[in-house]
Chain A
Amino acid sequence: MNANPYLPVKVKVLEVGKQTENVATLKIESQGLNPAPGQFVEVSIPKVGECPVSISDFGSDFLELTVRKVGRVTGALNALRAGDSLFVRGPYGNGFPLENFDRRHVVMVLGGIGLAPVKGIINRYYLNGGVNRLDLLVGFRTPQEIIFRAELARWREKFNVVVAVEQDDPGWPGRVGLVSDLVKEISVEREAAAVVVGPPLMIKAAAEELSGRGVAKENIWVSLERRMSCGIGKCGHCRINDRYVCLDGPVFNYRQAEGLVD
């Protein structure tokens, strides 16, 4: 391969959806980037910078990125409007092994923006089926930070969706508490599989809880977040032990992930 792997392609923003004050979903042209669910791209705005962003959904001619404003680049991405352009390279990483979820009971435990990398998969199951049963346990810090509200409401038609917030709020009718604790309340079928995405502590708590509830560690898949600079196994920022999250992940089987120590 002689091409420069760091050279991104220019894509147009097709649509911007405001999720919360600090989170926007950008629908962008796919320009031939052909991702698998769970992969990520390096997104950049020239002179501002580049950062890794998970792909929250995609179709034949679009990608969808859901970006929380946490720094310079993500701030600039949140300020984009339809018609603006940005640059992407990728897709990178391995994605979710969907064949392991076919015709099974699947439990997804998702924290905050961790909903993004699996939103497309859930939508696919909602539209086309594919799993026997789906429990969606989703946690946010506050009710104001809930993303994909419309989708969550729609998914309720077919799946068990429980949303919890960590900090109580007067107007909040739902659950208060840690999302990992919700695992205690669901029944787990034989051969169930699980997907856990969120901050590191939440991943550990939820995966251990799932394992305690009888989901085999081999059937738990987690997606790890790291600040990759290159996305292609060179820069070293995402290395844990002998693994590179950008190459060997971001999706890891929990059997392996539990042994990765930062």
Chain B
Amino acid sequence: MGYLFSADAFNSLLAELKTRYKIFAPKIYRGKGRTAGTDLVAYGEAGELAEIAFDRKTAFSPKEIIFPVNQTMFYFTKEEFQENLPPKEDKDMIIFLRACDINGIERMDAILLQNGPYRDVYYEKLRGKARFFLIACDQSWESCFCVSTGSNRTENYSVYVREENGQVFCLVKDRDFEEIFSKYGRPADVEPRFIEENKIRVRLPEEIDQRVFGHKLWEEYAARCSACGRCTVCCPTCTCFTIQDIFYRDNPDCGERRRVWASCLIDGFTDMAAGVSFRAGYGERLRFRAMHKAADFKKRFGLFMCVGCGRCDDACPEYISFSKCLNRLSEIMGEVGQR
């Protein structure tokens, strides 16, 4: 059912939802941006309509809500392992997010739930608590290319939300929310709208093979990339992590086993016994990442990995653009294909 809310009615709705759910949404943190005088747009808990930044793109994806940067897996006391799974009694979560990010979470599901015979229980527990409130994009930003990657749309949401001049249009798909939405909203015809055009158009490489590995493209990138890893941290589809143990300085008998986000761009990712490692060059690392997003993931899971959110382009301090990289890969494959 579709519903229309005044700002007050929507706030009442949020207030009641908040008694049952933790609500996460894009928020503006004034003056907290990367450079002086800029704002940070990031996910945080929200309780009022005015707090939700419908018209801004977050620098980070919402993945950290269900896949925290740093997650304690076990606590140790002496030699005993105590599992630290998110407690069942924790509230479920409502996440306000865009179509690209919902598509991103579907890619995270492929790795963390479907790859191999085991499911990642830590991810599964948090993921199982998440309800998606799809934010309608009323504009496409400079770096977006979701239409090219086909991730401008989704059907995977509980409620579609469009804010317009202080009013909120909602379409409820998940029956669990029908009653509460009907309590505060007026029935209305609501059709989901999706972005149909981006400024950037990307020609996805049909097939990329190892003939691109030796191309000078990667040398160009090597000269610019500083292996900071920002592109992977902000990516809604990057899920690599490292497991680490720590002990408490004040009580070395006790400690934790944690997992922490890792990145194929950052030194040490492949370090092995006896000093062996792979992809020492930054160009090779970018190639490894690009091949994953554009070809390798698809070979394994049948989905194009990149969802075209453009955050990596926004974050790169060297202005390396992944959409341009994809276009160049298409060109290069076209060239080698003709040979």
Chain A residues at the B interface, C-beta cutoff of 8 Å:
1-8, 10, 44, 46-50, 68, 70-71, 74, 85, 87, 113, 199-200, 225-227, 229-230, 232-237, 239, 241-242, 244, 246-247, 259, 261-262
Contact = CB atoms under 8 A, between A and B. Distances in A.
A49 B116 contact: no
A44 B245 contact: yes
A49 B79 contact: no
Contacts of B297: 242
Instruction: Provide the main secondary structure of the chain B interface.
Output: mixed
A226 to B, nearest CB: 7
A46 B83 contact: no
Interface string B270-296: 111110101100001000100110011
Contacts of B83: 4, 7
B267 to A, nearest CB: 13
Contacts of A229: 241-243, 259, 262
Interface of B: 73-74, 76, 79, 81, 83, 85, 111-112, 115-122, 210, 213, 239-247, 252, 255, 257, 259, 262, 264, 269-274, 276, 278-279, 284, 288, 291-292, 295-297, 299-300
Contacts, number: 128
Contacts of B300: 242
Which 9 A-B pairs rank lowest in CB-CB distance, beginning with the nearest? A233-B116, A236-B240, A262-B278, A5-B118, A242-B299, A47-B247, A47-B255, A233-B115, A70-B273
B116 A234 contact: yes
Contacts of B273: 68, 70-71, 74, 113, 225, 227
A46 B117 contact: no
A39 to B, nearest CB: 13
B85 A235 contact: no
Contacts of B271: 227
A47 B76 contact: yes
Contacts of B74: 6-7
B174 to A, nearest CB: 25
A235 B241 contact: yes
A200 B280 CA distance: 14
Contacts of A87: 81
Contact of A247 (B116, B270, B296): B116
